Structure 1
Amino acid sequence: MSKSVMEIQQSFRQLRMVETADGLTDLLRKAEQKSWTYLELLEELTTFELKKREEKSIEKRLNWARFPYHRPIHMFRVEEQDAITERQLKQLREYEWLEQNYNLILLGPPGAGKTLLSVGLGIEAINKGFQVYFITMGELIQLLKTEEYVNKSKIQLKRLRASDLVIIDDIMYMAMDQREATLFFQLVHQLYEQSSLILTSNRSPEEWTEIVGNQGMMTAILDRLLHRVEVIHMNNESHRLKNQQRIFKD
């Protein structure tokens, strides 16, 4: 005796094909209307399941990323600024730099579009299968200081360390004491050549040592952050690191 649709749906759920189970009635209706062959029906069932799983995976990774807002990369208007060309943006959107663990540093005053660009790149990276984590510098320092005894901090930092791309917004906007600088250095060391970083700041790297107050510690941090990096000055001219390996070629 053939099974009912509800029984088949239950079988799909037992096989953990929940999306197919939920959409089975509509898929069978389409199969009848379009006279699908058995092979075409199987193809539609598997494609439907994989597509729905990917959509849920993207939604989960977007939630984990903790973006301050959802603004895709197309909302960043290249023509409204002169910090980056259309060709360079296209190169960034190919994400070879992310696969090679390059970093990006976006410098400029408030309102220059640093966070908008970083969020846009982060959202698109998630859509391409990467895991991304967004955090402000202030939030990061608080997590690092409470990791040992606050479970929520442990969970968030575990996700951060497992990410392919970590976006730290407003880095070095305020002074750090010795313990905070040490914790930040340890994190940068852990992420070094394992994950890519996008850092936004309204201060140039030349000023970061003054904020940290420990030249040796800041030099060690900069050595890792600036080894393989592209520094983009958004509405702000600067000079930095003539010998670093770069993403954009002259």
Structure 2
Amino acid sequence: MNQLQEVQDKLRSLRLAETADRLPELIREAEKRDLSFTQFLLDVVTYEQKRRDEKQLERRFKWATFPFHSTVDEYNVNEQKSLSSKKLNQLKDLTWIEQLYNIIFLGPPGVGKTHLSIGLGIEALNQGYKVIFTTMGDLIQALKTEEITRKSKTRMKRIREADLVIIDDLMFMAMDKQEANMFFHLINTLYNQTSIILTSNKGPKEWGELLGDQAITTAILDRILHRVEIVHLNEDSWRMKHRKTIFGEQSVSN
């Protein structure tokens, strides 16, 4: 075994596999640039740190379970007059996460509520925050099966430890009392430790009808609305305005 292989083996035993694989190239680069020993060691540890950060970000993206990739910059504010560029930039700077503010995107289907929430989630991930995306239906299912399946238990653990939880289609479906109670306990756990983005086509005043229990509704609203920014997206559906048709320029209704 030559010295290079010996060093690579020792690096792997120290769980520095990324550096071990890259070592021959790092050595060639050091010789080419005539680096000092100190600079060479700095390059080695910098490379290892960079790869660890990249792999951690990859894991966090995987755990976030975004249904698709979209960025805030891709959102066309010109088609949504109720949200100015200034307000969008204020959301994008993410200071509200440090302040433990919640964001509620309200509006009919197709106005970009999910797009914006995912865009802000991706921005938060890139800035080092732990982010989880879930639909309301999937969240209730995970809560109901948390004590039964390992997958749901792991999922709920990540939700409770996240810096930002995105709940899509809040109040899309009615809940029974048990489901509403579980949802309250989750909101109570996240309160004062996690920011939440909620998307819904129903305003908070209507949530009581779907939660079914006024006392639980009041308790949930009390925690969500304590520090909140409600963004109304009231323009027409983007999907309907940009829908495609097999009939050329004719509208689908004609």
Question: Does TM, scored on the shorter chain, surpass 0.5?
Answer: yes
What is the identity, as a one-letter code, of the residue corresponding to 2:124? A
Secondary structure of the structure 1 residue equivalent to 2:109: coil
Secondary structure of the structure 2 residue equivalent to 1:166: strand
What is the identity, as a one-letter code, of the residue corresponding to 2:22? G
Secondary structure of the structure 1 residue equivalent to 2:83: coil
Q: Distance in 1 between matches of 2:180 and 2:21?
A: 51
Instruction: State how 1:97-246 maps to structure 2 within 5 Å.
Output: 97-235=96-234
Secondary structure of the structure 2 residue equivalent to 1:117: helix
Q: 1:248 maps to what in 2? A: none
Q: Distance in 2 between matches of 1:110 and 1:36?
A: 59
What is the identity, as a one-letter code, of the residue corresponding to 1:82? K
- 1:175-229 CA-to-partner distances (Å, cap 9, x unmatched) read 1111111110011001101111000001111111111122111011000000000
Q: Distance in 2 between matches of 1:101 and 1:110?
A: 27
* Structure 1 residue 118: Cα displacement: 0.6
What is the identity, as a one-letter code, of the residue corresponding to 1:204? G
Q: 2:240 maps to what in 1? A: none
Q: 2:85 maps to what in 1? A: 86
* Structure 1 residue 26: Cα displacement: 1.2
Q: Distance in 2 between matches of 1:27 and 1:85?
A: 48
Q: 2:47 maps to what in 1? A: 48
Secondary structure of the structure 2 residue equivalent to 1:230: strand
Q: Distance in 2 between matches of 1:99 and 1:85?
A: 22
What is the identity, as a one-letter code, of the residue corresponding to 1:95? L
* Structure 1 residue 3: Cα displacement: 5.8
Q: Tell me which moved more, 144-153 or 180-189.
A: 144-153
Q: Give the share of equivalent positions with the same residue, in percent.
A: 52
Question: Structure 2 vs 1, CA of residues 7 and 79 (structure 1 numbering), >3 Å: closer, same or farther?
Answer: farther
Structure 2 runs not aligned, ≥5 long: 236-254
Secondary structure of the structure 2 residue equivalent to 1:193: coil
Q: Distance in 1 between matches of 2:50 and 2:161?
A: 24
Q: Distance in 2 between matches of 1:62 and 1:189?
A: 26
Q: Distance in 1 between matches of 2:55 and 2:82?
A: 35
Question: Structure 2 vs 1, CA of residues 19 and 111 (structure 1 numbering), >3 Å: closer, same or farther?
Answer: same
Q: Distance in 1 between matches of 2:72 and 2:30?
A: 38
Q: 1:15 maps to what in 2? A: 14
Q: CA RMSD in A?
A: 1.5
Q: Distance in 1 between matches of 2:82 and 2:4?
A: 58
Corresponding pairs, count = 235
Secondary structure of the structure 2 residue equivalent to 1:16: coil
What is the identity, as a one-letter code, of the residue corresponding to 2:167? I
Q: Distance in 2 between matches of 1:104 and 1:44?
A: 42
Secondary structure of the structure 2 residue equivalent to 1:110: coil
Q: Distance in 1 between matches of 2:73 and 2:6?
A: 45
